[in-house]
Structure 1
Amino acid sequence: MRIERLGDLGDAPAVLAAVGRAGAALGLAPPAALLGDWFGSSAVIAPSVTIAPVGATEVFDVAAASGTAAGNAVGGGWFGYLSYPDAGADGTGPRIPEAAGGWSDCVLRRDADGCWWYESLSGATPAAWVVDSVRAPVAPSAYEMDWTQADRDVHHRGVTDCLAAITAGEVYQACVCTQFTGRLRGAPLDFFVDTAMRTTPARAAYLAGDWGAVASLSPELFLRRRGTTVTSSPIKGTLPSWADPSGLRTSVKDVAENIMIVDLVRNDLGRIADIGTVTVPELLAVRPAPGVWHLVSTVTAEVGTGLPMSDVLAATFPPASVTGTPKVRARSLLRTWEPRRRGIYCGSVGFASPVAGCELNVAIRTVEFGADGSAVLGVGGGITADSDPDREWDECLHKAAPIVGARSPVPRGDRTVVINPV
C-alpha cells in the first residue's frame, strides 16, 4: 500500500468541491466522500469512482479486516449505499437503485489533526489532476433548492395509528416518518458541500452516478466492523438545539425510546455474535447533532472474522433505530402507515476497506436526488405510549430545519425556496 503525506490542504468540504470540479472538467465520474468521524479520521474521499447499481448482498462484500493497517489508513475500498427495503402504502417502486456501489483503489484521507494523506491499495501514484486540484480548494457553486412542505395530516394519522397499535400490544415502539420533496437547480455535490460545511454532521456521506445522488448528513453510526468487533451506536431521544439537553435524561419518553432500541440492537447483534460477547459500554449519552440534541447509546459484540458482511447485514438491517420493536411487526405496520417508500432514507451509506474494516451510517438527514433534480428528504421519530402527535411533528421539523432551512428561505405559499447565493 502506498501512503503519501500531503499536509494541510484545508477543510474537507472545500477539498471535495475542488476534486469534484476538476474531475467533472475532465469528464470523469464524480467523487465519493465520507465526512465527519469515519475510521478515526475526519474525511475519506475517492476523487473519482463509478457508483453503479449492485445487488443488495454485494454492496459491502469485502473480507473482514484484520485491524493491522498502519495508523488509521484505509487505502481504498468499496463505497456504497443500501436502501431501506420496504415499500410504502402506495406500493410504488424505488426512485433510485435500491443498492449501488463502486471500488476505489485510492483515497484522500484527512486525519483527526487536519493532515491530508494520499493512500492507494495497489501502490499507484496520485493522478496529476488530483494533486493539482487539492492544492487549490474551492467553494461550492451556486444552487437553488425548492422544498415542498411535508404532509402534517398524514403524519398525524400515522402517529395515532401507531399509538393505537401500542395500546393493542402489537408493538412497543415504531419510527413513523414523513417526507419533504424538492427540486434542485444546480449540482447535488454543491448542495452537499454547502450543507456539510454549515452543519458538520458526524456521519456525512456523498455518492453519485448516472442514476442521481445521495447526500447524507447523518449523525448516526449503524455499524462499525474492525477485526472481530462490531459496534452500533443507535440514536433515540431528541430535543431542539435551543433546549436544555439535560431534559433528555429526565424524559421518561426519550429514555424509554432509547432503551427499547438498545435492547433491539442487542437482539440483532446477538444473532451473529459469539455467545456472551454482546455488551453496552455506553448508555444514554447526550450528544449534539445539527439542529438538535440526541440520546446515544453504544452496543458492541464479537463475531468471527470469516463471517461475511452479508450475514452481518442480514441480522441487523434495516437499522433498529428506524424500525421499531418487535422489529418484524413494526416494519409490517409501517408499510401501511407511511404512504411513500422511504428509499435511501433509513437505509445505510458507508465504506468497506480490506485493511481498515467497514463503517456504515444510518441514512437519516439524507437527501435522495434523482437524475432529473428531484429531491426527497425523509424525517421521523420513535413513537412510544407517551408520544404526543403534535410534539412528534415538531421533532420532524427540528430535524429537517438544518437541511430545508438552509441559507435564505423565502416562503411562497406551502413551499420554501432555498437559495444559495455563493
Structure 2
Amino acid sequence: MRIERLGDLGEAPGVLAAVARVGAALGLAPPAALIGDWFGSSAVIAPSLTAAPVETTGAFDVPVPGTTPSGKAVGGGWFGYLSYPDPGADGLGPRIPVAAGGWSDCVLRRDLDGCWWYENLSGAKPAAWIVESARVPVAPARYQIDWAPPDRAAHRRGVTDCLAAITAGEVYQACVCTRFVGRLRGAPLDFFVDTASRITPARAAYVAADWGAVASLSPELFLSRRGTTVTSSPIKGTLPAWADPAELRTSVKDVAENIMIVDLVRNDLGRIADTGTVTVPELLAVRPAPGVWHLVSTVTAEVSVDLPTAEMLEATFPPASVTGTPKGRARTLLRTWEPHRRGIYCGTVGLASPVAGCELNVAIRTVEFGTDGSAVLGVGGGITADSDPDREWEECLHKAAAIVGAGSAIPRRDRDVVVNPI
C-alpha cells in the first residue's frame, strides 16, 4: 500500500467540492465521501467512484482484516449503500437502485489533526489531477431546494395505529416515519457540501452516479467491524437543541425507547456473536446532533474472523433503531402504516476496506436525489405506549430542521413550503 502525506489542505467539504469539480471537467465519475467520524479520521474521499447497482447480498462484500488494524490507514475499498428493504402501503417500487456502490483503489484521508493523506491499496502514485485539485478547496455552487412539508394527517394515523398495536400487545415499540418531498435546482453534491459543512454531522456520507445521488447527514453508527469486534451505537430519545439535555435521562418515554432498542441490538448481534461476548459498554449517553439532543448507547460483540459481511447484515439489517420490537412484526405493520417506501432512508451508507474494516451509518437525515431533480427526506421517531402524536410530529420537524430549514425553524402550517437557498 502507498501512503503519501499531503499536509493541511483545509476542511473536507471544500476538498470534496474541488475534487468533484475537476473530475467532472475531465469526464470522470463523481467522488464518494465519508465526513465526520469514520475509521478514526475526519474524512475519507474516493476521488472518482463508479457506483453501479448491485445485488443486496453483494453490498459491502469485502473480506475484512482478521485482526484489529494498526494505524489509521484506509487505503481504499467498496463505497456504497443499501436501502431499507420494505415497501410502503402504496406498493410502489424503489426510486433509485436498492443497493449501489463501487470499488476505489485509492482515497484521500484527513486525520484528526487536520492532515491529509493519499493512500492507494495497489501502491500506485496519485494522478496529478487528484493532488492538484485537492490543494485548492472550493465553495459549493449555488443550489436551491423547494421543500413541501410532510403529510401530518397520514403521520398521525400511523402513530395512532401504532399505539393501538402496542395496546394490543403486537409490538412494544415501532419507528413510524414520514417524509419531505422537494425539487432541487442545482447539483446534489453542492447540497451535500454546504449542509455537511454547516451542520457537521458525525456520520455524513455521499454516493452518486447516473442513477441519482444519496446525501446522508447522519449522526448514527449502525455497525463498525474492526478485526473480530463489531460495534453498534443506536440512537433513541430526542429533544430539540434549545431544550435542557438533562431532561432526556429523566424522560420515562425516551429512556424506555432507548433501552428497548438496546435489547433488540443485543439480540441481533447475539445471532452472530461468540457466546457470552455481547456487552453494553455505554448506556444512555446524552449527545448533541444537528438541531437536537439524543440518547445514545453502545453495544459490542465478538464474531468469528471468517464471518462474511452478508451474514452480519442478514442478522442485523435493517438497523434496530429504525424498526421496532419485535423486529419482524414491527416491519410488517410499518408497511401498512407508512404510505411510501422509505428508500435509502433508514438503510445504510459506508465503506468496507480490506485494510481498515467496515463502517456503516444508519441512513437517517438522508436525502435521496433522483435524476429528475426530485429530493426525498425521510424523518421519524420511535413510538412507545407513552407517545403523544402531536409531540411525535414536532420531533420529526426538529430532526429535519437543520436540513430543510437552513438552521431555522420549520413552519408548522401544512400549507407552507420551506425554501433552502444558498
Task: Please give the alpha-carbon distance, in whole angstroms, between the structure 2 residues aligned to 1:68 and 1:361.
Answer: 20
Q: 1:73: which partner in 2?
A: 73
Q: 1:417: which partner in 2?
A: 419
Structure 2 residue matching 1:124: 3-state secondary structure: coil
Residue 70 of structure 1 deviates from its aligned partner by 4.7
Letter of the structure 2 residue corresponding to residue 152 of structure 1: R
Residue 410 of structure 1 deviates from its aligned partner by 10
Task: Please give the alpha-carbon distance, in whole angstroms, between the structure 2 residues aligned to 1:407 and 1:111.
Answer: 28
Q: 2:200: which partner in 1?
A: 200
- CA 1:68–1:275 in structure 2 vs 1: closer, same or farther (change >3 Å)? closer
Q: 1:214: which partner in 2?
A: 214
Task: Please give the alpha-carbon distance, in whole angstroms, between the structure 2 residues aligned to 1:277 and 1:409.
Answer: 44
Q: 1:284: which partner in 2?
A: 284
Unaligned runs of 5+ in 2: none
Task: Please give the alpha-carbon distance, in whole angstroms, between the structure 2 residues aligned to 1:67 and 1:185.
Answer: 46
Structure 2 residue matching 1:103: 3-state secondary structure: strand
Contact 2:174–2:325 (Cα < 8 Å) also in 1: yes
Aligned positions, number? 420
Q: 2:403: which partner in 1?
A: 403
Contact 2:291–2:398 (Cα < 8 Å) also in 1: yes
Unaligned runs of 5+ in 1: none
**Superposition pairs of residues 12-411 of structure 1, within 5 angstroms:** 12-67=12-67, 69-406=69-406
Structure 2 residue matching 1:377: 3-state secondary structure: strand
Residue 69 of structure 1 deviates from its aligned partner by 4.3
Task: Please give the alpha-carbon distance, in whole angstroms, between the structure 2 residues aligned to 1:409 and 1:226.
Answer: 39
Structure 1 residue matching 2:248: 3-state secondary structure: helix
Contact 1:149–1:415 (Cα < 8 Å) also in 2: yes
Residue 414 of structure 1 deviates from its aligned partner by 2.9
Task: Please give the alpha-carbon distance, in whole angstroms, between the structure 1 residues aligned to 2:410 and 2:67.
Answer: 50
Residue 407 of structure 1 deviates from its aligned partner by 6.9
Task: Please give the alpha-carbon distance, in whole angstroms, between the structure 2 residues aligned to 1:301 and 1:152.
Answer: 40
Instruction: Deviation per CA, 1:303-336: give whole Å up to 9, x if none.
Output: 0110100000000000000000000000000000
Contact 2:324–2:331 (Cα < 8 Å) also in 1: yes
Instruction: Deviation per CA, 1:258-317: give whole Å up to 9, x if none.
Output: 000000000000000000000000000000000000000000000011010000000000
Structure 2 residue matching 1:392: 3-state secondary structure: helix
Of 226-235 and 57-66, more deviation after overlay is shown by 57-66
Identity %: 82
Letter of the structure 2 residue corresponding to residue 220 of structure 1: E
Structure 2 residue matching 1:57: 3-state secondary structure: helix
Q: TM-score, normalised by structure 1?
A: 0.98
Letter of the structure 1 residue corresponding to residue 416 of structure 2: D
Task: Please give the alpha-carbon distance, in whole angstroms, between the structure 1 residues aligned to 2:233 and 2:69.
Answer: 23
Q: TM-score, normalised by structure 2?
A: 0.98
Of 30-39 and 410-419, more deviation after overlay is shown by 410-419
Contact 1:66–1:355 (Cα < 8 Å) also in 2: no
Residue 66 of structure 1 deviates from its aligned partner by 2.9
